[in-house]
Amino acid sequence: MRYTRQILLYMRIYVETAFPGSYKELLRHSLQKDQLAFRDEITTEEERLNTLLKADILLGNPKPAYILQEATNLKWVQLLSTGFEYYSNVHTSAIVTNLQDFYSSPCAETVIAGILALYRGMDTCTLLKSRQKWVGHALRVNLQLLYNKKVIILGWGNIGRRVAENLKGFNCDIQVYSRSSGQIRSTDELKQRLPDADIVIGCLPGTEQTKGLFSEEMIYLMKPTAIFCNVGRGNLLQNEQALIDALYQRKLGGAVLDVTFEEPIPADHPLWNCPNTILSQHTGGGYSAEYEGMIQTFLENLEAFKNGRPLQNQVQLSKGY
């Protein structure tokens, strides 16, 4: 039976995410009138599935994806991620919400920190410190400024907009690739602009339209001093090996990669030894108050849900937004 909006008080909530103990207690304290079930406190997979199938609300990102489709009693699913392409083929009558803008600031700061590390030699200085080796003055000739750089941002969602806001402080010349609202609206236009760009920053979600969008040709259209960054999805690159080759051959100035095609990267992967490459290991959205922020977002939406008000950050799984 489809859910109809009405005032609801008592809910069965299944928590998929393995929150640390203190945050579980925060949820228990905040939801004393509800029935909470934490996945990591249930001992068998059979019992976990049965509990989920009875739940009214799901907090977290279940795997495999088809479980979400089988849980027909669900009325609302709060995903604890921005991206949700993993569930694109799932059909559910439940309302689905994600975290949308939640990770925008940390992701933006991560990619800019990576760029600054390359430009100001912080990556080199860190390695020299571990070796107790003083180079000093000789480093200065290779240092660059982010100030006044020409930047192309791929994607104009929450992360792309936050990156642009932060870059304004460096007086960067910013152009945006977006089919609906950017100065660059096609891949042909993008190819024309790439040779002039100092930095290209991928902030696109993982959809069929963006998969493999940044081609091998585009990599080699960038100038040898340019930096390629990706804080969106690892499948943005059509050919990750082409990026690796360009970095090893010094045909590209550097890379800042929060996401990669394969995660985690195997020990023998060539990215580990790529020159001028920052690998932030998909930590871009992280910060010390992450769990607290997730819970606060959920509790605010839960109050709206129980009182029949519209939920924030609703998404349509099939459409990818």
Cβ atoms 83, 320 nearer than 8 A: no
Cβ atoms 20, 291 nearer than 8 A: yes
Shared-domain flag, residues 233 and 198: yes
Shared-domain flag, residues 19 and 39: yes
Our count of domains for the chain comes to: 2
pLDDT, residue 318, reads: 81
pLDDT, residue 9, reads: 64
Shared-domain flag, residues 88 and 109: no
Selected catalytic residue, list 217, 233, 250, 262:
233
Q: CA 103 from chain center: how many Å?
A: 7
Q: How many residues does the chain have?
A: 321
pLDDT, residue 65, reads: 95
Q: Where are the beta strands (DSSP E) in 81-226?
A: 95-97, 150-154, 173-177, 199-202
Is 282 catalytic? The answer is: yes
Return the sign of the alpha-carbon dihedral for residues 143, 145, 151, 156. positive
pLDDT digits (tens, 9 = 90+) for 198-248: 999 999 988 889 999 999 999 999 999 999 999 999 999 999 999 999 999
Shared-domain flag, residues 134 and 222: yes
Selected catalytic residue, list 193, 282, 300, 303:
282
Q: How many CB atoms lie within 10 A of CB 50?
A: 12
Tell me, yes or no, whether 320 lies in a domain: no
pLDDT, residue 151, reads: 98
Shared-domain flag, residues 172 and 234: yes
Tell me, yes or no, whether 317 lies in a domain: no
pLDDT, residue 206, reads: 85
Range of the structural domain that residue 60 is part of: 12-102+287-306
Is 137 catalytic? The answer is: no
Shared-domain flag, residues 259 and 296: no
Shared-domain flag, residues 136 and 213: yes
Tell me, yes or no, whether 259 lies in a domain: yes
DSSP percent split of the chain into helix, strand, coil, nearest 5: 40, 15, 45
Is 46 catalytic? The answer is: no
CA 217/CA 221 separation, integer angstroms: 6
Q: Identify the segments of the chain with pLDDT beneath 50.
A: 1-6
Tell me, yes or no, whether 311 lies in a domain: no
Shared-domain flag, residues 66 and 153: no
Shared-domain flag, residues 143 and 238: yes
pLDDT, residue 4, reads: 45
Shared-domain flag, residues 275 and 146: yes
